Structure formats: C-alpha cells, structure tokens
Structure 1
Amino acid sequence: MQQNILFDLDDTLIHCNKYFHFVQAQFADLMTTWFAPFGLTKQAALAKHSEIDIAGVQIVGFKSEHFPQSFVDTYRYYSALHGRTESADEEALLWKLGLSVFEQETEPYPYMNETLESLAAAGHRLHLYTGGDPDIQKRKIEAAGLQRYFRDRIYIRLHKNVEALKEIVRAQKLRIDRTWMVGNSVRTDVLPALSCGLHAIYLKQELEWDYNVLPIADAKPSGAFLTLSSLRQIPSAIDAYLTQG
C-alpha cells in the first residue's frame, strides 16, 4: 500500500547541528577572551546565547539572519551587564562567524541514498519538508542530490509548526492514515505530525539543539509512533507496521 513519507532535511537526511556547535564553540572562545576581566565562562556565554537564540526563533522562524543576530545580541547583553564598551569591529566579526555556519559542506547521514531508494522502489511517495531560508535550503538540497527523490514535492517554510504541516497535507491532498513524518525534532517534526493525526518516526540524534527538545511522554498518536536511531531502519519499520496492520 503506497504511503506518503515526509522527510525533514537538517539532521534527518544531512548533518546540521554539528556545524552549529562548531561555530558556537568559536563564539564562546571570543566571548571569554573579550570578557575575561569579568570572569565570563564558556558555559554561561553559551547558555545565554541559547536563551536568546530560542526566543528569537519562536518569533522570526528560521531566517538565516537570526543566528548571527543572536551572537550580536548575546554580546550586547554582556556588554551592558558589565559596562564594557561595544565595538563595531567585534560585532562585525560575530556576524560573519554566525553566517559562516550556512557555508559549511553538505554531508549526508549514513544510508541516506539507500533509504530513499528503497522506499521509492517499494512504491512510496516521498516528500521533503524543511524549515529555513529558501535559498540556503535549496542549495543544500541541490548539493545532496535530493531532487531526484522528491521532485516537485519539496516544501520550505520559515515557520515549521502544526499550521504549516496541516497546510501541506491539505494542499497535497494527503490521506492522514497513509502519511508519515520522519524527523529529528520533537518540536517541529514529531509533535506537529501527531497533532495532525499522521504516523510519526522520531529519528533520534545524539547531538541535538535545545529548541528541538520537548517532552513526548504525553503524546497520543492516532497511528504509528516509532523511535529509531538510523535512516536504514525506516523501510523495514514502515513495512512491519503495514504488515501488522
């Protein structure tokens, strides 16, 4: 029985968070150097940045300018807190550092192609649903060679939530009982899918963004709700569920 399978992109099909963590580590090094006289620790700088970053995402969504701005806003917070004069050159350096995360290589997760090929060969209809700046996401999709699997079924949204997912399901006329959402984010993939009554596969990653982490113990799935650790587990897991059903 043909299924509609929506895949998230970042940290589901291709690596993303590890590059953010790499850039954040450089940010923390700069902050502790500049604010050394005030005893600022890397842990404190990263915690404040996470707080500012998440608050901003909830307002503006996944705009590319938001991440470098969160570096600058954290810098300004500590400058005001300690009475340190702000430097335009330091802010420019932070802005450039924040943007550099979007220039990193596109690296697929293991078994990406094999998994997508297996699902397509089984007759399933594949969709790609990702959050972010359209130009940046399109560049990643092209670099990873994903158009051949998803064709015109690629949806990019600045805000990735229940409303956005419902709009896609409605516009594409997807049957709820034959539609799956696969992703690493509890916030933007799993919980919206369950809220829409879709099947959900939580592809749990070791390195996760705090924004994506929410409790799922109270989730009440209408269909399948699976937690997997590798892309290569997905075809057999879906096949097993359909066979049992």
Structure 2
Amino acid sequence: MHKCLIFDADDTLWENNVYFLRAIEEFLEVIADIAADREEILRVLTQVERELIPQGGYGTGNFLKALKETFRRFYAGADGAGTLSNIEEIGTRLRSHPMQLLPGVSAILAELRQKHRLMVFTKGEHGEQTSKVMRSGLQEYFDWVEIVREKDTAAYHGLIKTRGLRPNRTVMIGNSPRSDVTPSLAAGLWAIYIPHPHTWDLEHEDVEHHPRLFKANSIHEVPALVERI
C-alpha cells in the first residue's frame, strides 16, 4: 500500500544554510571596523533573529533585517547608510545563489514516486520557497507543495486535515529536529531524520528515541526505511 512521504526542502533536498553562513561571514567583514568580537557579534545576531522570528518569520528578508539590527546595536554613529547598503548587497547575492541539490535527490525521488505520493512541506517566505522549488527542477515529483509560516505540531495537524492524510501511513523526512522531527511525531506521523552538517542553529534540539522515528545518514537510505513502515 502506498504511503504519503512528506519532504522538508531546505537542507533536505538542496543546500541552503551554507549560503546563509557565507552571508554571515560577509557581514562580519562588513562591520569589522565597527565591531571585532566575532563571538559577541554572532551571539547578538542569534538573539536578534529570535526576537524577529515571531513577527517576521523565516527567509532572506527577515535575515537581512536581523543583520541590519545587529549592525545598529554595535554602531555608535549617526548614519551608517554605506554599511546598510553593503548589507543589502549581501541579501542580493543570497537571493540569487544557485540551487545545489543534495547527492542522489533526483534519483531517489523518482524511485519513491513510483510507489508513493510525495509532497514538500516547508516554511518561510511563500514567494522565496516557491521559487526554490521551481528552480530546483524537482516539482514534477511532488503532488503538493505546502508552505507555512511555522512548522509546529498545529501546522502538522492542519496538514493532516487539509490533505486527508492517514498519520500511520504518512512519513515526514527532514534534517531539522525542531521543525521536522519533534512536531511530526507529536502529530502522530512517522519521521525519518537526516542530519545535515550545516543545519541552522535555531533548528537544533535533542532527538530522543521514538518508536516511529528512524535516522538516516542520507536520502539514499530512505526507500529501505519507508519499506519498514
């Protein structure tokens, strides 16, 4: 019997956070003359991101707001327009980065598509995430693409209701403990956790043993794990 396989997008199907990490390195260079304590800058940036997410959500736009606000918290001058312009340029490069699929993604999706229904469930700016899906060339494999503001337990319950999913025949596959693993299990789904070396710090949390949870080293292991469900 076929199952519904739900895939996270960023850092599950394609590289994503590595580009944000590069943007942060550029930001550190831009404000080096203003603030030189790398660890303190990163601490403040993380705090600012936490503050902005409830209102601004996720994505490049809110990330740029966080960079600008972090700059303002270190800058004692009256203007700073030049630095703010440089930060905007960082955002322009970030929005236009190439789509780099993770190894084996296309082949594995094609294989899974033969037996199961596939969908993308991701969070962030709707236009930005839609663009990534289209630029990835993977849209042909998916029955649905759902983009939400937050991937919490309530969002998974909403997805189950909207799409008429059977939790015991539905599997969430992703790299984020906070957004992919914990809430999907809480909603009654199965989950396959595929760690990524560059998962965003704010997506980390402890992953505890669970009878409906599998851990994979890469997407190549997903077909065999799905067969065990």
TM exceeding 0.5: yes
Kept in 2, the 8 Å contact 1:185–1:202? The answer is: yes
Instruction: Give the RMSD, CA atoms, in angstroms.
Output: 1.6
**Alignment match, 1:238:** 226
Quote the Cα distance in structure 1 between the aligned partners of 2:66 and 2:80: 16
Percent of aligned pairs with the same residue? 25
Q: Which moved more, 1:65-74 or 1:135-144?
A: 135-144
| Structure 1 position 149 matched with structure 2 position 141 | yes
8 Å Cα contact 2:178-2:203 kept in structure 1: yes
- Report the counterpart of residue 209 of structure 1 in structure 2: 200
User: SS of the residue aligned with 1:65?
Assistant: helix
Question: 1:58 offset after TM fit, Å?
Answer: 3.6
Question: Structure 1: 5+ residue runs without aligned partners?
Answer: none
Q: Partner of 1:224 in structure 2?
A: 212
TM-score under structure 1 length normalisation? 0.88
Mapped to 2, the partners of 1:203 and 1:87 lie a distance apart of: 42
5+ residue gaps, structure 2: none
Amino acid at match of 1:75: F
- Give the match for residue 160 of structure 1: 151
State the 1:95 CA deviation. 2.8
Residue correspondence of structure 1 range 42-191 to structure 2 within 5 A: 42-79=38-75, 83-121=76-114, 123-151=115-143, 153-191=144-182
State the aligned residue count. 229
Contact 1:71–1:95 (CA<8 Å) still a contact in 2?
Answer: no
Deviation, structure 1 residue 133: 1.3
Query: How far apart in 1 are the matches of 2:147 and 2:13?
Result: 15
Aligned to 2:12: 12
2:224 maps to amino acid: S
In structure 2, the CA distance between the partners of 1:197 and 1:57, relative to structure 1 (3 Å rule), is same
| Conserved 8 A contact 1:177-1:199 | yes
Deviation at 1:84, TM superposition (A): 3.5
Q: What letter corresponds to residue 182 of structure 1 in structure 2?
A: I
